Amino acid sequence: MRILFLVLLALATPSILSSQWLPEEAFPEGEYLRTFMLDGDSVIAGGDRLYRSSNRGTAWREVTTIQNYMHVTRIERSGDAVLALGDTALWRSLDGGETWSVSLSWGYLAPGQPVGFGEPVQLAIASQGRLAVATKSWVELSSDNGVTWRRTARGPGLYNHPSALALIGGRIHVGEPAGHRYSTDGGATWIESPEVDGRKVAAMQFVWTPDGTLHAATTSGYYYSSDTGSTWMRRVPSDTLNASIDAMAIEADTIWTAHYGYFMTSTDRGATWRSVLPSDRRVGRLRKIVWADDTLWAASSGLGFVWSTDDGLTWHERNRGMPGQINDNGVFYDRDEFYDFGTFALLTTPVGILRTLDSGRTWTKHDSLFARIDRRLGGEIFDIVRHDDTLYLLNPRGLHTSTDGGVSWTADELAGHGEGHIHRALEVVGDTLFAAGGMFGVVRFVREAGRWRQIDSTIGVDGPVLLVRGDTVFAGGSPTLWRSTDRGARWQNLTGLVIAPGVLSVQVSASGIVYAVTEAGGMPALWMSLDGGETWSAIAVRTAQLGGSLDSALVGGAFIVVGETLFIGLNDRYGPKRGVLRSTDRGETWQPIANGRLTNASVLALGSHGRQVLAWTQSYGVWRRSIDEVVASSPLDEPAPLRPMRITPNPASSLVDIDVANLAELTVTDALGRRVIVTGASSFDTSTLSNGLYVVVARDRVGAVTSATLLVRH
């Protein structure tokens, strides 16, 4: 991944041991939601963790009174109690979800022991406090709302595991892949329902409606029973609803069903069905649907808690914070990146662009780039750069521009055989646009008549990496790295990295040290060059705490350089090597700086904005850490970074002087992030600027950056 950091702030070195990473926005932080309970304005939602909202999902906070639980699959109210079903225990709350105690357990819940995985389990709730919990081995019944439990004389004898459970009248209903069974004697004996059209009624969910009909969402579509499950029918055996149904909701004669890739509805109690368009897969898989107050509410695997007022045609998020991090197939995207543009920063995710103006404390989502019926690209964004007041973005549809900080986007054009959609990286320097990663290598364009005209290409210099520092351009990535010192006119193959399978990222420190992340392939993943890329040495990423090489985990995670401090975010999807590490000695030693849940998080992207280092994780959202806490002044004998900037006078109404050494360039931006002044002088005139707050950024000849705010008041 390639992340450019334009702002370097200077730095103290307090102990980091007592400091903390701070989570941003409690919910859903990329949560994969499985269930929720809607009770008036109160909502309790769960996936790998449990959350509570008192305003129908506008704001959330995590419930921490459940100490050992994983994979909450069901949350329901039963009388005065709220019940949460996990895979190791059934939890019970008598205060609306604030505090919890174990009602029934079957996993490892002893203090100090890891949470164990119990058998596949289902929960059923009836009136008068009657409850049932079933696994493939046993059924437990309670008649006092979960205070005490009684195990049935024998289990249901199911072949696989229960996927649905219901208590209706005097019957216990169990659905599983082998079919539907029910018991009329409290679980002592079980009766198997007959097949329908040669198919088992393999229920994934039961719904009981006031007219006495039992409905089943199954692995082969929708079924219903008018005799409490003794027999089942499909009104139209050849209908189009023949896939596995994840969730179902019923109101009067209308039925809604959700399954992978589809959301369908019937307004005649299942006689006919129609697919709700568009089939918007960016919503993710809906694991639970509820109809309340003329609204469909749902738990989404992609976006958390969502709602629809038009029968599922369009969906809206009711979450403050990060949307989902896993796509519909459960596949992790590698296009997650932070882009710091001084007064604001962007984070690209599979479901759109997130924008922050306050160092990552709060985020807003902008996805107008994908606001079309065919929004199947999700957040697949290849690169974003800024030039003057314009942002340039590459995605599979080509080049797009934004003049409002990423809020809205319009299509742009790259004229020539190097069309935008074939590229994976870009840079804009002066009047030249560089694009790389396509079949024509690095392609250069100039702006003419409102579009970019191709002037040349360098075939063979290929790959997803593109980084410009002054007149020096690094490009390529597979199998090696190339360098140009004259803005792309001539190229040199940096053969010192040819042993690596491919280059994924290039970073340059404030002193000019070049770092590269390569595909591991059993080799080192992190490299360093002290001579601008001529020669390279491998950096061994190891820690005493984690042990062994972290190369493969680094390749899946993220790497950044802030000043002279190195940060890696590890992403070991199937192992223990996760969290964030830092090095202040060019990678000689590494120290974990994560804490709490972040220690176990797979880090997909690292970035910085304002005075914060930001970590974007799989499942746990964005976390931030003060730069003053985690970035140390370099102990190496390198050129010192710029000292803090002094602006005189401040506030200003006319000419101001900037006191900074070795100045190369000054940039002044307004509150909207627009560049209003760019100069190489140490003074400039503010008389033409409007009243307000501005950010002044100074860069020296080795790339070190410092910034300060300026108040203009006439």
Give me the amino acid identity at 432: T
**Domain CATH for 152:** 2.120.10.80
Q: Is there a single domain that holds both residue 504 and residue 556? A: yes
Residue range 417-426: average pLDDT? 73
| Residue 700 confidence class, pLDDT cut points 50, 70, 90 | low
**Domain CATH for 341:** 2.130.10.10
Q: Is there a single domain that holds both residue 402 and residue 534? A: yes
Give me the amino acid identity at 134: A
Q: Is there a single domain that holds both residue 577 and residue 669? A: no
Q: How far apart are CA 593 and CA 582, in angstroms?
A: 7
Residue range 639-667: average pLDDT? 75
Cα 94-621-51 angle, rounded to 5 deg: 10
Per residue in 162-179, pLDDT (tens digit) is 899 999 988 999 998 889
Whether the pLDDT of residue 113 is over 80: the answer is: no
Cis bond upstream, residue 194 (ω within 30): no
In a domain, 13, yes or no: no
What's residue 555's pLDDT? 84
Q: How far apart are CA 706 and CA 245, in angstroms?
A: 56
In a domain, 553, yes or no: yes
Q: Which of 64-73, 312-321, 423-432 has the highest mean pLDDT?
A: 423-432
Whether the pLDDT of residue 658 is over 60: the answer is: yes
Residue range 120-137: average pLDDT? 86
| Residue 372 confidence class, pLDDT cut points 50, 70, 90 | very low
In a domain, 113, yes or no: yes
The domain boundary, picked from 170, 200, 234, lies at: 234
Residue that wins the pLDDT comparison between 157 and 476: 476
Residue range 194-222: average pLDDT? 91
What's residue 238's pLDDT? 54
What's residue 114's pLDDT? 38
What's residue 128's pLDDT? 77
Q: How far apart are CA 57 and CA 315, in angstroms?
A: 14
Cis bond upstream, residue 278 (ω within 30): yes
Q: Is there a single domain that holds both residue 111 and residue 154? A: no
The domain boundary, picked from 180, 199, 234, lies at: 234
Residue 505 · residue 459 · CB < 8 Å: no
Whether the pLDDT of residue 327 is over 80: the answer is: no
Residue range 590-599: average pLDDT? 76
In a domain, 173, yes or no: yes
Whether the pLDDT of residue 26 is over 80: the answer is: no
Q: What percent of the chain has pLDDT over 70?
A: 77
In a domain, 494, yes or no: yes
In a domain, 489, yes or no: yes
Residues 6+ apart with CB under 8 A from 174: 122, 134, 139, 156, 158, 162, 164, 165, 180, 181, 182, 183, 190
Q: What percent of the chain has pLDDT over 90?
A: 19
Residue that wins the pLDDT comparison between 489 and 19: 489
Q: Is there a single domain that holds both residue 619 and residue 655? A: no
Structural domain of 94: 26-117
Q: Is there a single domain that holds both residue 126 and residue 82? A: no
Residue range 632-637: average pLDDT? 42
For the chain, helix, strand, coil in percent to 5 are 5, 45, 55
Per residue in 269-324, pLDDT (tens digit) is 888 888 885 544 456 678 899 999 999 999 887 677 888 888 888 777 765 433 33
Q: Is there a single domain that holds both residue 557 and residue 459? A: yes
191-192 sheet: strands from edge to edge? 164-168, 171-176, 179-183, 191-192
What's residue 8's pLDDT? 27
Q: Is there a single domain that holds both residue 126 and residue 69? A: no
Residue that wins the pLDDT comparison between 601 and 696: 696
Report CA torsion sign: 155, 160, 165, 171.
Answer: negative
Whether the pLDDT of residue 684 is over 50: the answer is: yes
Q: Compute the residue count for the chain.
A: 714
Q: Is there a single domain that holds both residue 526 and residue 462? A: yes
Whether the pLDDT of residue 15 is over 50: the answer is: no
User: Which neighbouring-strand residues pair with 398?
Assistant: 395
**Domain CATH for 672:** 2.60.40.1930
| Residue 662 confidence class, pLDDT cut points 50, 70, 90 | low
What's residue 171's pLDDT? 93
Range in 379-383, 396-400, 550-554 the model is least confident about: 379-383
Q: How far apart are CA 597 and CA 21, in angstroms?
A: 10
E strands within 186-311?
Answer: 191-192, 203-208, 214-218, 221-225, 247-251, 254-259, 262-266, 274-275, 286-292, 295-300, 304-308
Residue that wins the pLDDT comparison between 521 and 603: 603
| DSSP category for residue 633 | P
**Domain CATH for 71:** 2.40.10.500
Q: Quick one: which of 466, 444, 468 has its CA closest to 456?
A: 444
Per residue in 217-265, pLDDT (tens digit) is 998 889 999 999 999 998 765 556 667 888 999 999 999 998 876 788 9
- Distances in Å between the Cα of 181 and the Cα atoms of 115, 119, 133, 185, 234 are 31, 19, 15, 13, 18
In a domain, 5, yes or no: no
What's residue 632's pLDDT? 62
Residue range 16-25: average pLDDT? 48
Q: How far apart are CA 432 and CA 447, in angstroms?
A: 7
In a domain, 272, yes or no: no
Q: Is there a single domain that holds both residue 177 and residue 35? A: no
Residue that wins the pLDDT comparison between 598 and 454: 454
Q: Is there a single domain that holds both residue 100 and residue 184? A: no
Domain count, the chain: 4
Q: How are beta strands 675-679 and 663-669 bridged, if at all?
A: antiparallel
Q: How far apart are CA 283 and CA 378, in angstroms?
A: 10
User: Which neighbouring-strand residues pair with 249?
Assistant: 256
Q: Is there a single domain that holds both residue 105 and residue 128? A: no
Cβ neighbours of 235 (radius 10 Å) = 15
The domain boundary, picked from 92, 117, 142, lies at: 117
Q: Which of 180-189, 494-503, 653-662 has the highest mean pLDDT?
A: 180-189
Residues 6+ apart with CB under 8 A from 405: 341, 344, 355, 391, 672, 673
